[in-house]
Chain A
């Protein structure tokens, strides 16, 4: 005997859970956005980042001076009308150098994180989706990579190639992916046994399509959060390498290399502003990325209302 009589249908479409009062269901992105803007620190961070990105793009227009022009008579000029944030030990305008430095820091941060997220997601997706020996091999490799204090490998690779923006992007990308791969693997491990994935497998959808079209979109939340926090981390690491003289090379300004010549007695004694501003620029930017990352984490978390 058939379960349903003739002419009897199951009314799924009018089910109240799915269609409440005939209104269109709220889009996921809208819900996330609304949760995000409730977090004040995250909003402040996001606005700050938009301003910094704007300043970096329009550095040529905004900068009051040529960042590399040395006005030796004005060296170590205190903050004032002509040099809003003072001048460095070669008489270059600190504000202009900070604006151009923002370009370098943001480009290195965004591009290398894009690379490391790509590698990490690919490795994590393969490990998590296929499991078994492939998973074991990839994850043991990740264990090895995580055991290296990363600054050692970064410095060694930088010394092998010429330190430049592209070298830095390359080394940060190839050493920065391990955290993301663990995260994505975890997501895939839980998602691959969901009913909708089993259903997709049953009707013969190829693996790559299941990975990219069906599982990956559901793992995007943690990936975006990890990318946001990652950019802050790379900016911090880039500034340290550049400070050590192993990153961006002068005269190209970067927030890290601007501090290179700050550790001398006369400067520390009389020109407090010179070491101060580049450090604050790094601090605020990394802080903003962390605020936004935390805000996104809460916004993506369905348990947090």
Chain B
């Protein structure tokens, strides 16, 4: 087991390396060079050359890459091109807690809704409730999340006045947990819907698979109550593979935060990314892309390890 965890962790390293290489190549595609944005265009040619020399822009491309990588490993993502004098890591780490809060709450919502629906769908296979849940799942996949967010704001914030239209807290009030939760509900729910459909279908098919197994039939034959068979014997085994789908959900969760944070003006890294895109603030964009992808790799790693921990049948 320890062996497997070490091997699996080592596998993540080349992946992270690849992510930085691809990000760096994409950054090189940006038109012009960073000096064009940072420096007064009226500057003398010699001074421009001096700047380029100072920032290492005349170095060979692989030297630039390793300098960038080295800095990044020390937590130095460079300076924002737009907000001069502010380091990118400052900007990101000021916003990261908001995004993590949103993502954790959405994940919990997604699991709390999808798993029971998936179980219900599986145990009532080909009955009315199964069909209704299937149709809702189809709708969930096809609904654009930004539009769903708009509709929820229109109905629940503007017309019914139940929830605020955006932000993390009521302006001018002091911090309170209830206020924070009040602001969290709509954006977290919209972000959660992106993956609820897939999660429900996955739980359903796993549950159906497990309920067909011999040991379930044995349990039934021994006269256990239906509920006990489903929840005690079936559920445990059906839920193990669901752990892995958590890793698969991460990219769309992190990506979805851009849209959701924009609609609900939730000041997290998604909104920071959106603003940086409009300002062509490439150091911020690259840093968020690398951190976001690293979170995906980390999430997959954790999911794989948990899978190995929870499923003793698998040998490594």
Stretch at the interface among A7-15, A94-102, A125-133, A137-145: A137-145
A265–B150 alpha-carbon span in the complex (Å): 11
Q: Is the CB of B146 within 8 A of A243?
A: yes
Sampled A-B contacts (16; CB under 8 Å): A144-B15, A148-B19, A149-B292, A151-B259, A158-B277, A159-B278, A239-B147, A240-B146, A244-B258, A256-B146, A263-B263, A269-B158, A269-B159, A279-B151, A282-B142, A290-B141
- Residue ID in chain B nearest A267 by CB atoms: B154
Looking at the complex, which one of A144, A236, A244, A259 makes contact with B22 (CB distance below 8 Å)? A144
Separation in Å of the B294 CB from the closest CB of chain A?
8
> Are B141 and A156 within 8 A (Cβ)?
no
Q: Known contacts A147-B251, A263-B150; is A268 also within 8 Å of B31 by CB?
A: no
Chain A residue with minimal CB distance to B274?
A: A244
Determine the chain A residues whose CB is within 8 A of the CB of B145 once the complex forms. Answer: 240
Check if B92 is an interface residue, CB within 8 A of chain A. Answer: no
- Nearest B residue to A262 via CB reads B150
Are A153 and B150 interface neighbours, CB within 8 A?
A: no
Give the residues in chain A near B147, CB-CB below 8 Å. 239, 243, 259, 275, 278-279, 282-283
Min CB gap A88→B, angstroms: 14
Q: Which residues of A contact B138 (CB under 8 A)?
A: 287, 290-291
Q: Is the CB of B19 within 8 A of A155?
A: no
Partner of A279, one of B15, B150, B280, B293: B150
Name the contact of A160 in the complex, choosing from B31, B144, B146, B254 (C-beta under 8 A): B31
**In contact, A147 and B15 (Cβ under 8 angstroms):** yes
Across the interface, do B289 and A268 meet the contact criterion of CB distance under 8 Å?
no
A152 within 8 A of B: yes
Contacts A140-B18, A160-B29, A246-B277 given; indicate if A148 touches B144 (C-beta within 8 A). no
Q: Which of B18, B142, B251 contacts A149 (CB 8 A)?
A: B251
Query: What are the interface flags for B280-302 relative to A under an 8 Å C-beta threshold, 1 for contact and 0 otherwise?
Result: 10100110110011001100100
Cross-chain contact B273 with A155 (CB below 8 angstroms): yes
Pair A149/B252 contact, Cβ less than 8 Å: yes
Interface residues of A (CB under 8 A from B): 140-141, 143-153, 155-160, 232, 236, 239-240, 243-246, 256, 259, 262-263, 265, 268-269, 272, 275-276, 278-279, 282-284, 286-287, 290-291
Chain B, interface SS category: helix
Contacting residues, chain B, for A152 (C-beta < 8 A): 255, 258, 273, 285, 288-289, 292-293
State how many angstroms separate the Cβ of A214 from the closest Cβ of chain B.
Answer: 33
B78 to chain A, nearest CB (A): 15
Q: Which 9 A-B pairs give the minimum distances between C-beta atoms? A: A149-B255, A144-B18, A279-B147, A151-B255, A286-B142, A287-B142, A268-B158, A152-B289, A268-B154
- B305 sits at the interface (CB 8 A): no
- The answer to whether B251 touches A232 (Cβ under 8 A) is no
Docked complex Cα distance between A146 and B251 (Å): 8
A275–B154 CB distance below 8 A: yes
Bound form: Cα–Cα A85–B174 in Å: 45
* Chain A residue at minimal CB-CB distance from B296: A147
Could you tell me if A153 and B289 are in contact, using CB atoms closer than 8 angstroms?
A: yes
Complex Cα–Cα for A136 and B303 (A): 23
Determine the distance from Cα of A240 to Cα of B257 in the docked complex, in whole angstroms: 12
Give Cα A145 to B21, complex, Å: 11
Q: Return chain A residues, CB-CB under 8 Å to B14.
A: 140
Looking at the assembled complex, report how far the CB atom of A273 sits from the nearest CB atom of chain B, in whole angstroms.
Answer: 11
Which residue of the partner chain A has the closest CB to B18? A144
Chain B residues engaging chain A, CB cutoff 8 angstroms? 14-15, 18-19, 22, 26, 29-31, 138-139, 141-148, 150-151, 153-154, 158-159, 165, 251-252, 254-256, 258-259, 262-263, 273-274, 277-278, 280, 282, 285-286, 288-289, 292-293, 296-297, 300
**Closest B-chain residue to A41, C-beta based?**
B138
Residues of chain B with a CB closer than 8 A to A144's CB: 15, 18-19, 22
> B259 to A159, Cβ gap below 8 A?
no
Complex formed: what's the CA distance from A245 to B144 in Å? 15
Which residue of the partner chain A has the closest CB to B27?
Answer: A156
- Chain A's nearest CB lies how many Å from the CB of B11? 9
User: A276 — which chain B residues lie within 8 A by C-beta?
Assistant: 151
Bound-state Cα–Cα, A146 to B143, Å: 23
> Given the complex of chains A and B, what is the CA–CA distance between A156 and B158 in angstroms?
33
List residues of chain A with CB within 8 A of the CB of B15: 140, 143-144, 147
Q: Contact at B153–A240, with CB atoms within 8 Å?
A: no
From residue A288, how far is it (CB to closest CB) to chain B in Å? 8
CB-CB under 8 A from A232, the residues of chain B are 142
> Distance (Å) between the CB of A142 and the closest chain B CB?
10
Q: What residue in chain B is nearest A288 (Cβ atoms)?
A: B142
Distance A244 CA – B258 CA, assembled complex (angstroms): 9
List of A residues within 8 angstroms of B263 by Cβ: 263
Complex: A301 Cα to B293 Cα, angstroms: 35
Q: Are B258 and A155 in contact (CB under 8 A)?
A: yes
- Which residue, of B154, B263, B288, has the highest number of chain A Cβ atoms within 10 A? B154
Nearest A residue to B158 via CB reads A268
B151 partner, pick from A148, A245, A275, A287, beta carbons under 8 A: A275
Of all chain A residues, which has the CB nearest B256?
A151
Question: Contact: A148 with B153, CB < 8 Å?
Answer: no
Nearest chain A CB to B185 CB, angstrom units: 18
Q: How far is the CA of A278 from the CA of B293 in the complex (A)?
A: 32
A182 to nearest B CB, angstroms?
13
A157 to B277, CA, bound (A): 10
Contacts of A243 on B, CB cut-off 8 Å? 144, 146-147, 259
